[in-house]
Structure 1
Amino acid sequence: MPLGHIYLNATISNQEHLNSNETVNPTHYCNTITYIRLTTVLLLRAGYVLIQIGSIPTNDVYSIAFHNILDITVTICSYGLMGHMFSFGQETLGGFVGSGSSAFSGYTNLDVIIYGFSACLIGSAILTTMLSGRILPMTAAATSFLHGGLVQPIVMHWLWHEKGWMAKRRMFKMRFSAKDYAGGMVIHLTSGVAAFWGSVCLGRRLVKLRDLSKSSLGTASPGMTFIGYIFIYLGLTSFSLPTQRYQQQRMPADFIGIILTNSLMALTSGLFVFLMQCFCFGRVSGYWVLLKCLQGSLAGLVTVSCAVDAYDHTMAFFVASIGSVTFYCITVILERTFHEDYCNIVPVHVFCAFVGAVFPPLLAKSENLGYSISIPFRLYHTGWQIICAVAVIIWSTAFFLPLFIFLQAMGLLANRSEELNHQRSLNVLKNVDSRRKFWRIFTYSEFAPYVEPGIDTKNGESLEVLKRSNDSRRELLQNSMAKKLEARSPKSPNFVRTPMVPLEEVVKDMGILEAERYPASYEEDVEKRMANNKLLYETLTEPPSPRSQVPTVHRNATGDSLDSEKVVKAEVHAPSVVTDKKEGNRKKIYPRRRPNTVRRKKKLKRLDSN
């Protein structure tokens, strides 16, 4: 981890400081890297605000900005008042939580305090991105206070404190130590799990396009989100820069160059792999595909965050590629569920962070956990990494899931507009198949229309605009579905055969007809029945023999001769007059001829019985 063992029990009096010619160790004070880290983290928060406005459909954009301002304020206050003591307190309670006097007293190294501030600001940004614009302001303030003052600082103590139970653990006569350099478990996994349970408790939502704000998904959204993700890249890369204490505790090396190189390789790998997947399996254009490409590169950066200082550039590229593939597979699954995640927080910060926590002991260089280890010991450390990641998930779930359930039961979780959206979706769900309880109400496919940035897709003509933009893709989908249905549907047997059809095909088709009526007997004696009924089918399929009778001449009342076909049709369709016995009304009844197939089937059945 970048902090190392950073606590110094140095007490320098003013008199000693004035009389001594030696200067105080500069590691007691904040340096340039600390300033860069804090500045870029604030830019990262601005980047998250931009992607929220450009990705989350809402009827009030200003609520998103207010939610983020409130979150930044509450997070800084909560960590400054109590969180720093729980994370980097001078004493520890069994390696689970810090305690003791305030870290601000004396000549304490304030780099660690600013490092903790930065970690909490990044973690709260992840949580806010999932819940922004959907929960009440007071609920947002309470959630940010507990997250920045209690939940995340405790995980910091587990992994980043020199006496944390994950950082140093002795079991089975071996010493274990978890590797989490840039917050893969402390920041991304902890906050991502909390955001996931918040979204699950809020449930599905169904938003009307005409109710959306003009600024939500506006025409400037593509540029805003692109700049926002650039700010996030800068913030996460600068956060992973080593402290001066970290460099002093290790062999001389260009740690800043190593970290920057691995970060760039991870960004490029994630973007490249996701683009290849889009070209092979999905669409290659559109606003939401652009966002997924940027999120794929962010997934690669999150995957290597646990050991970005210990990989070489090839391993960083490989690990980031695995993270990008994981991100793509998870998004394909989650996009079909009722889970509302417009910025793909869960695939990036939960699944990719968990995958990245497994690889440091296996693929890191010889310098891993501060010293060289053998292959069996790497496997032991891999098991310990998995145990620590699962423990972080359990801790975040055990705290936030009961909290969100309680707030939802008390009616203190969702705001007014979100309650209306949720109730609208439940009303629609009543008329849908019950098997879609955990899936989206509307069928999801790559041919489905998407809401694009701009006001044209949110007014009364939005559906027509979306349909026109996807006519070609919808036509291809319908043609493919028609071909599939045609291939699956069984061909109906033709019961009326002409003499031109071979006898073998007639016997075969009639055998199929009998198989539908009597499947058991058909399987037993197919050949026997075909032989017995051969003469019958020959009789049915023979053309009628010409009659030698003289055709009858029909005449009308005046004595003129009539056409025989017209006479037959008139006789068939002539209505018969009957008298109702009860009321005495005369009614005309038109006789209905039975279909040819019904008469033929009855005739066959009668002949078979004879």
Structure 2
Amino acid sequence: MDQIQQLTSGLDTIWVVLTAAMILLMEGGFALLEAGFVRQKNAVSIIMKVFVDISFGALIFYFFGFALMYGKDIGGIIGTTGFFMGGDLSHISLTISHDTYWLFQCAFVIAVISIVSGAVAERINFRAYILYTIAMTGLIYPIAGHWVWSVGGWLGKLGMIDFAGSAVIHGLGGFSALAAAMIIGPRIGKFSADGKANIVPPSNLPLASVGAFILWFGWFGFNSGSTLSATNTSIGHIAVTTMLSAAAGCAACILFTMMRYRKADPPMVINGALAGLVGITAGCAFVSDAAAICIGAICGIAMVYATEILEAKQIDDPVGAFPVHGISGSIGTLAVGLCAKPDAIREGTAGLFYGGGFHLLGVQALGLVTVCAWGFFITWVFLKLIKLIVPLRVSRDEELIGLDVGSHGVPAYSQEEGFLDLQHLKNNQ
């Protein structure tokens, strides 16, 4: 028996480490996607923010974020043990070590802050972004995650189901991104005096497409890895629903934009695939293949409408972080309350469409509203506080020249032209 347990533990450890690495590779996807969506003069600034996400995010989550999220709690609200991965973590009972579990969860927290970075691209102050990254990875996300995923979290006790994070990661990140975009304001020239949105062409759609493909690949680690077990028989089904939902979101966007704009819109199609991936994340282990297709298609179309609404409200979200993550994450979370199969959910709970009544749907709605409201309002508060320390936004000259040269002193491509712009900026300061 001991040998069997050791073998199981070893296999589970390999599985979780590999899927954690797949999720970490998604940062390369975020980097390429966002660099392709923004203008050429801001590509380096996107890459630098991704490095902030990974480095500061990992360290802060190790120092105290993990403790607040998974430590022994007080009243289901916040963890109090496990700082620096020490102290009492005996309540976390898994076949993998606490170090392995931390690594997997660390990959998740890095993904959360990466959602926000796209919404404030091309105009946020780099120092302000570092401070916000510390707040998100050390406090905002860990507390929300504790409510749902920890042993004693109050939303988890009520029965909320979010398998891999449609609400905890994407809903939270999406609504935090919305708050950040609203506070920091639109890019110069994005909206005309009459409120009409001007097109800001992406710098490199092939690059953005490759980023989306990397994210799509990493999502199999995101969802299937959340089993935390290499011998869990649902891994295959999770991978299938993940694939189908992404494909449906992408296909729906192709067809919908062809009807709406008379041409298939490439940025929308890219985000349509991501919307389908976000939407299935909560219920990938609990819904049927048909439900996964419906969820993906609905998320893809809803993302298009949400993008149009943001522009009508003069909210500038360069990469579509809120439509992709906030809206699709919300749809996916509620879909569990509708489509969860009774044979797949703990304690025989089922979604409304399977005779489970409104209980699970109500819990999902309560959890979704709570997590998203927390992300929106606490982000608003932190950014207002950060503004008292450093400017939230770069100067007008810096934004016009580009953050690559203005904030980091180096252009992404043309060094000669970039350094001439930098010298011009210095001469006019």
Same fold (TM over 0.5): yes
The one of 277, 280, 287 aligned to 2:259: 280
The answer to whether the 8 Å contact 2:17/2:100 transfers is: no
Measured in 2, the distance between the counterparts of 1:113 and 1:136 equals 30
Question: SS where residue 282 of structure 2 aligns?
Answer: helix
Measured in 1, the distance between the counterparts of 2:202 and 2:207 equals 10
Shift of the alpha carbon at 1:64?
A: 2.3
Aligned residue identity for 2:104: Y
The structure-2 alpha-carbon separation of the partners of 1:205 and 1:60, relative to structure 1 and needing over 3 Å to count, comes to closer
Shift of the alpha carbon at 1:234?
A: 1.4
Residue of structure 1 in register with 2:380 after alignment: 401
> After the TM superposition, which residues 113-132 of structure 1 pair with which residues of structure 2 at under 5 Å, given as runs?
113-132=102-121
Measured in 1, the distance between the counterparts of 2:146 and 2:110 equals 17
The one of 103, 110, 113 aligned to 2:99: 110
Specify which structure has the bigger relative contact order, considering alpha-carbon pairs within 8 angstroms and separated by 6 or more residues. 2
Aligned residue identity for 1:134: R
Shift of the alpha carbon at 1:131?
A: 2.2
Measured in 2, the distance between the counterparts of 1:32 and 1:77 equals 23
The structure-2 alpha-carbon separation of the partners of 1:104 and 1:411, relative to structure 1 and needing over 3 Å to count, comes to closer
> After the TM superposition, which residues 598-609 of structure 1 pair with which residues of structure 2 at under 5 Å, given as runs?
none
Q: Does 1:153 align with 2:142?
A: yes
The runs of 5 or more residues in structure 2 that have no matched partner are 90-95, 191-200, 401-412, 415-429
Residue of structure 1 in register with 2:66 after alignment: 84
Shift of the alpha carbon at 1:58?
A: 5.9
The structure-2 alpha-carbon separation of the partners of 1:399 and 1:271, relative to structure 1 and needing over 3 Å to count, comes to same
The structure-2 alpha-carbon separation of the partners of 1:138 and 1:363, relative to structure 1 and needing over 3 Å to count, comes to same
Shift of the alpha carbon at 1:277?
A: 0.9
Measured in 2, the distance between the counterparts of 1:124 and 1:146 equals 10
Shift of the alpha carbon at 1:121?
A: 1.1
The answer to whether the 8 Å contact 1:189/1:392 transfers is: yes
The one of 198, 223, 234 aligned to 2:206: 223
Question: SS where residue 340 of structure 1 aligns?
Answer: coil
The one of 68, 91, 95 aligned to 2:76: 95
Question: SS where residue 269 of structure 1 aligns?
Answer: helix
The structure-2 alpha-carbon separation of the partners of 1:245 and 1:117, relative to structure 1 and needing over 3 Å to count, comes to closer
Measured in 1, the distance between the counterparts of 2:233 and 2:2 equals 31
The one of 163, 177, 184 aligned to 1:181: 163
The one of 265, 288, 307 aligned to 1:331: 307
The one of 251, 256, 266 aligned to 1:290: 266
Aligned residue identity for 2:172: T
The answer to whether the 8 Å contact 2:179/2:377 transfers is: no
The answer to whether the 8 Å contact 1:40/1:231 transfers is: no
Q: Does 1:236 align with 2:219?
A: yes
Residue of structure 1 in register with 2:339 after alignment: 363
Aligned residue identity for 2:136: H
Q: Deviations over 1:568-610 (max 9, x none)?
A: xxxxxxxxxxxxxxxxxxxxxxxxxxxxxxxxxxxxxxxxxxx
> After the TM superposition, which residues 19-34 of structure 1 pair with which residues of structure 2 at under 5 Å, given as runs?
25-26=6-7, 31-34=13-16
Measured in 2, the distance between the counterparts of 1:361 and 1:373 equals 10
The answer to whether the 8 Å contact 1:92/1:163 transfers is: yes
The structure-2 alpha-carbon separation of the partners of 1:155 and 1:26, relative to structure 1 and needing over 3 Å to count, comes to farther
Residue of structure 2 in register with 1:267 after alignment: 246
Measured in 2, the distance between the counterparts of 1:60 and 1:268 equals 30
Aligned residue identity for 2:277: L
Shift of the alpha carbon at 1:224?
A: 0.8
> After the TM superposition, which residues 445-524 of structure 1 pair with which residues of structure 2 at under 5 Å, given as runs?
none
The one of 125, 128, 144 aligned to 1:139: 128
Q: Deviations over 1:329-378 (max 9, x none)?
A: 21222233321112111111111111111111221112343132365644
The structure-2 alpha-carbon separation of the partners of 1:231 and 1:407, relative to structure 1 and needing over 3 Å to count, comes to same
Residue of structure 1 in register with 2:407 after alignment: none
Residue of structure 1 in register with 2:33 after alignment: 51
The answer to whether the 8 Å contact 1:56/1:217 transfers is: yes
> After the TM superposition, which residues 295-334 of structure 1 pair with which residues of structure 2 at under 5 Å, given as runs?
295-334=271-310
The structure-2 alpha-carbon separation of the partners of 1:226 and 1:333, relative to structure 1 and needing over 3 Å to count, comes to same
The structure-2 alpha-carbon separation of the partners of 1:242 and 1:71, relative to structure 1 and needing over 3 Å to count, comes to closer
Measured in 1, the distance between the counterparts of 2:5 and 2:341 equals 35
Aligned residue identity for 2:123: R
Question: SS where residue 371 of structure 1 aligns?
Answer: helix
Residue of structure 2 in register with 1:551 after alignment: none
Shift of the alpha carbon at 1:162?
A: 2.0
Measured in 1, the distance between the counterparts of 2:227 and 2:374 equals 32
The structure-2 alpha-carbon separation of the partners of 1:244 and 1:188, relative to structure 1 and needing over 3 Å to count, comes to closer
Measured in 1, the distance between the counterparts of 2:239 and 2:202 equals 33
Aligned residue identity for 2:219: L
The answer to whether the 8 Å contact 2:118/2:318 transfers is: no
The one of 350, 356, 372 aligned to 2:348: 372
Measured in 2, the distance between the counterparts of 1:233 and 1:40 equals 10
Measured in 2, the distance between the counterparts of 1:404 and 1:343 equals 20
The structure-2 alpha-carbon separation of the partners of 1:420 and 1:110, relative to structure 1 and needing over 3 Å to count, comes to closer
Aligned residue identity for 2:213: I
Measured in 2, the distance between the counterparts of 1:338 and 1:238 equals 36
Measured in 2, the distance between the counterparts of 1:26 and 1:149 equals 34
Measured in 2, the distance between the counterparts of 1:273 and 1:80 equals 40
Measured in 2, the distance between the counterparts of 1:133 and 1:400 equals 19
Aligned residue identity for 2:322: V
Shift of the alpha carbon at 1:300?
A: 1.2
Question: SS where residue 229 of structure 1 aligns?
Answer: helix
The answer to whether the 8 Å contact 1:201/1:408 transfers is: no
Measured in 2, the distance between the counterparts of 1:146 and 1:136 equals 16
The structure-2 alpha-carbon separation of the partners of 1:104 and 1:334, relative to structure 1 and needing over 3 Å to count, comes to same
The runs of 5 or more residues in structure 1 that have no matched partner are 1-19, 170-176, 209-215, 422-453, 456-610
Shift of the alpha carbon at 1:45?
A: 0.5
Measured in 1, the distance between the counterparts of 2:384 and 2:82 equals 35
Residue of structure 2 in register with 1:382 after alignment: 361
The answer to whether the 8 Å contact 2:164/2:222 transfers is: yes
Q: Does 1:40 align with 2:22?
A: yes
The answer to whether the 8 Å contact 1:136/1:412 transfers is: yes
Higher helix content, 1 or 2: 2
Aligned residue identity for 1:412: P
Shift of the alpha carbon at 1:61?
A: 2.9
The answer to whether the 8 Å contact 1:67/1:132 transfers is: no
The answer to whether the 8 Å contact 1:361/1:368 transfers is: no
Q: Does 1:347 align with 2:329?
A: no
The answer to whether the 8 Å contact 1:247/1:255 transfers is: no
Question: SS where residue 347 of structure 2 aligns?
Answer: coil
Question: SS where residue 98 of structure 2 aligns?
Answer: coil
Measured in 2, the distance between the counterparts of 1:235 and 1:301 equals 10
